[in-house]
Amino acid sequence: MLKLGIAGNPVFHSKSKELFKLISKKNNIELKYLPISTFNSKSIIDFSKNFNLNGINITNPLKQSIMELLSKIDYQASNLNSVNTILFNNESMIGYNTDYFGILQTIWDNNLIFNKKKVVILGSGSAARTAAFAIRNLNANIFIWDRIEEKAKKVAEDLVVSYINDKNLIQKINEFDYIISTIPPNSKILRELKFEPHQIIIDTIYNNSYFYDKQKLYNYHFISGYNWLINQVLLSFEMFTGIHSKKEEVINEFDNYLNTKNDNFIFVGSFTDKINELLNHLASELNFKIIDTSEKFNDLIIPQGNLIHTFTNILDRILNEIHTSNDKYLIKFNNPLFYEPDILEMAKKIGEIIWLYDPLLDNNSNNELFFNNSDYSFILSEDIEESKERIVSEFERII
């Protein structure tokens, strides 16, 4: 079985997991693809080595910082100063960038012509740089905007394109033929822009896109970020497996994978005071209720030699409690006796499994089991306040 993942923050909302699941099913490839939340590049390299990952996708904020830890960097990734795909081969770690292919393939798929067209790119991060790099040779007139003007100037200077400030963007937005947005849907500048029917807008944000909601109002041509995502995932899959998949075989079924949501989450790991503090903070911030399965376990009389029956009883009680309530739940699986494959499989009927991984306690004998059965992993940092902020940002996107 191939062991893969995607790392960054926020990352739990990423649809890469669903895409890899769909593509691997169509190609009869057995793989595990795990979203892993971390702010720290070294932590994900150590994690990958500890669990013998074959490859991993990288998202913000790690695309630049991780480069210095790699054995080799592909030419395209080096030019973009950004890595989003890593292949592990024996002791070597090779970094690539498939985002570049993602935007180019989106252009080709939609028969877009950039020759002598005026283009504004909103944002100056790695996705914006990639988009500018990909289309600058198509003879387009490119402008970079960012809420921090100095960042826009720096990227524009690096890529030998132009930049535009807030005032000129608002006044002249109607002059642009293409708008490529890499900024969040709640960005203030978006509410100050008025668009035109002749414009083509490509959004890299594929969840809750601002432009999707406004399409009927302005009647522009909108290209969803799902196009970019699917294109770059297909290339990553080919790099990881050696198998080429056709986009048409994926895109028609992908919608079925987008609307699955869960309000209940099961936590596994080595429960410490730090983890309990983290979960209490998450529950308080996002209005979850906490169920401690150890307490329910202690309340039961355990028939000798019938542990599975006991856990089935516990899980049935939890399911009944959840189904008769409108609340959202965090469920702590904090008894080592719970960590059996059959029990974890039953637990998935209740909610998605979050593996809280503490690098300081990585000798947990159940870690391999957690990797194989979890829906997400959260790497704790030494700074509890950083972990608190990060876990809230992850759950805000998936509930």
Report pLDDT for 335: 77
Tens of pLDDT, residue by residue over 215-246, are 999 999 999 998 899 999 999 999 999 999 98
Strand extents, DSSP E, 52-150 = 55-58, 72-73, 85-89, 92-96, 118-122, 141-145
- Which residue in the block uniquely carries the two structure tokens 């099961």? 266
Strands 264-269 and 221-223, bridge-based pairing: unpaired
Report pLDDT for 362: 74
Q: How far apart are CA 210 and CA 188, in angstroms?
A: 11
Report pLDDT for 339: 84
* 264-398 CATH: 3.40.50.300
- Element holding 264 (H helix, E strand): strand 264-269
**Fold of the CATH domain 2-96+228-257:** Rossmann fold (3.40.50)
* 101-223 CATH: 3.40.50.720
Does this model's pTM top 0.85? My answer is yes
Report pLDDT for 214: 94
Report pLDDT for 372: 94
What one-character DSSP code corresponds to residue 97?
-
Please name the residues in contact with 297: beta carbons below 8 A apart, sequence gap of 6 or more.
Answer: 310, 314, 335, 337, 338
Q: How far apart are CA 195 and CA 132, in angstroms?
A: 21
Measure Cα distances from 2 to 31, 87, 326 in Å.
4, 12, 38
Supply the DSSP string of 292-352, one letter for each residue: EHHHHHHTS---TT-HHHHHHHHHHHHHHHHHT---EEEEE---GGG--HHHHHHHTTT-E
Give the CA radius of gyration of the chain: 23
Report pLDDT for 306: 63
Where do the domains of the chain lie? 2-96+228-257, 101-223, 264-398
Using omega within 30 degrees of 0 as the cis cutoff, is the peptide bond preceding 10 cis? yes
Find, among 354, 349, 337, the residue nearest to 293 by Cα.
Answer: 337
Structure tokens at 181: 């947005």
Report pLDDT for 301: 54
**Residue 59 in contact with residue 11, Cβ under 8 Å?**
yes
**Residue 333 in contact with residue 347, Cβ under 8 Å?**
yes
Report pLDDT for 305: 57
Q: How far apart are CA 75 and CA 86, in angstroms?
A: 14
Task: List the chain residues with pLDDT less than 70.
Answer: 257-261, 298-308
